[in-house]
């Protein structure tokens, strides 16, 4: 089992999340999955990160989620830390998946509890995290707190610090004022990982943040590397320039397509030769004409 220090080190700097690729018929593209993992490791990612969102767990069966996890761990083969992820599992389900993830060889489990109808409490979530953490180190994801608000999320995190020693990291999707105060609260004990964009990372970096989720590590790792070097040297003009020149126009581009940013990123998987653009229906997959516009837009930004 990795120590807290080893987990923090693996989550330091930019890492890319693993998007489960699909073939045109909708089946999981395991060859493409292995190619994406190899690209991340070649880009010196310290962590292979599966997530309920980017890994498309909402459209996978339980059996497929387990198989994606198994293949990710097997193909990583110790070359990086592996963070597995669950998806809106009941506590009993989450515990069983935690056991499976640990037996498979995953190092950490990102836990996404269900909260339909605002049905959880901070106390019931603590019971959930604690049950899972008995079997594998846990990463909390703050996405669950967004609909519940600032006070609910902060109370849950405070209780988690006090009562669940098996939590080792947090991935922040809430951002803004919550992200800053979350980092101040937990960073001494947990690795803090910023989801999304460099802008979100920069916002909480001064308050305690080890690393961030970067799509550029999958496609143009030099930009992620340049940003991280600028962060380490406190070169804020360079940080701002990278965000201005690359991140903002890139995200505007991929978010402009039917199907949103994920459709755009999956189009990039095809353009960069990693996997196909395909998404499971009813999600929209970019058409040939939209792929042409994506290709030209990336060339205009010197990203292709």
Residue 287: inside a domain: no
pLDDT at 5 over 90: yes
Residue 256: inside a domain: no
Residue 300: inside a domain: no
pLDDT in tens, 223-256: 999 999 999 999 999 999 999 999 999 999 999 9
Supply the pLDDT for residue 196.
Answer: 83
Residue 122: inside a domain: yes
Alpha carbon separation from 120 to 87, 186, 187, 204, 292 (Å, rounded): 15, 22, 25, 27, 45
Mean pLDDT of 35-53: 95
Q: What is the mean pLDDT of the chain?
A: 97
Residue 214: inside a domain: yes
Q: How confident is the model at residue 28 (pLDDT cuts 50, 70, 90)?
A: very high
pLDDT in tens, 116-138: 999 999 999 999 999 999 999 99
Residue 43: inside a domain: yes
Supply the pLDDT for residue 17.
Answer: 94
pLDDT at 1 over 90: no
pLDDT in tens, 63-107: 999 999 999 999 999 999 999 999 999 999 999 999 999 999 999
Number of domains in the chain: 1
Residue 261: inside a domain: no
- Render the burial of 271-288: b for 16+ CB within 10 Å, e for the rest: bbebbbbbbbeebebbee
Whichever domain contains 140, its CATH number is 3.20.20.70
pLDDT in tens, 196-231: 899 999 999 999 999 999 999 999 999 999 999 999
pLDDT at 31 over 90: yes
pLDDT at 23 over 90: yes
Residue 283: inside a domain: no
Answer whether 17's CB lies under 8 Å from 213's CB: yes
pLDDT at 286 over 90: yes
Residue-range definition of the domain harbouring residue 105: 4-232
Mean pLDDT of 146-166: 98
Least confident range from 64-68, 192-196, 261-265: namely: 192-196
């Amino acid at each position: 089992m990795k120590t807290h220090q080893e987990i923090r080190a693996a989550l330091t700097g930019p890492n890319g999340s693993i998007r489960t690729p699909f073939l045109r018929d909708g089946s999981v593209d395991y060859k493409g999955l292995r190619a994406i993992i190899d690209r991340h490791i070649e880009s010196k990612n310290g962590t292979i990160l599966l997530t309920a969102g980017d890994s498309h767990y909402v459209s996978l069966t339980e059996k497929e989620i387990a198989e994606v996890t198994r293949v990710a761990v097997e193909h990583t083969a110790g070359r990086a830390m592996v963070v597995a992820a669950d998806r809106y599992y009941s506590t009993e389900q989450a515990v069983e998946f935690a056991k499976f993830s640990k037996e498979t060889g995953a190092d950490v489990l990102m836990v996404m509890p269900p909260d339909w109808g605002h049905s959880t409490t901070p106390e019931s979530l603590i019971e959930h995290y604690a049950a899972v953490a008995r079997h594998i180190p846990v990463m909390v994801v703050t996405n669950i707190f967004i609909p519940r608000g600032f006070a609910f999320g902060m109370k849950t995190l405070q209780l988690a610090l006090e009562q669940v020693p098996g939590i080792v990291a947090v991935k922040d999707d809430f951002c803004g004022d919550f992200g800053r105060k979350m980092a101040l609260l937990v960073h001494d004990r947990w690795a803090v990982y910023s989801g999304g964009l460099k802008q979100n990372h920069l916002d909480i970096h001064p308050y305690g943040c080890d690393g961030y989720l970067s799509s550029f590590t999958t496609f143009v790792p030099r930009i992620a590397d340049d940003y991280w070097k600028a962060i380490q040297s406190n070169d804020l003009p360079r940080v701002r320039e990278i965000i201005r020149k690359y991140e903002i126009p890139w995200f505007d581009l991929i978010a402009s397509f039917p199907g949103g940013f994920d459709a755009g990123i999956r189009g990039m998987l095809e353009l960069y030769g990693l996997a196909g653009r395909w998404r499971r229906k009813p999600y929209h997959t970019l058409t040939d004409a939209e792929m042409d516009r994506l290709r030209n837009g990336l060339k205009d930004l010197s990203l292709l």
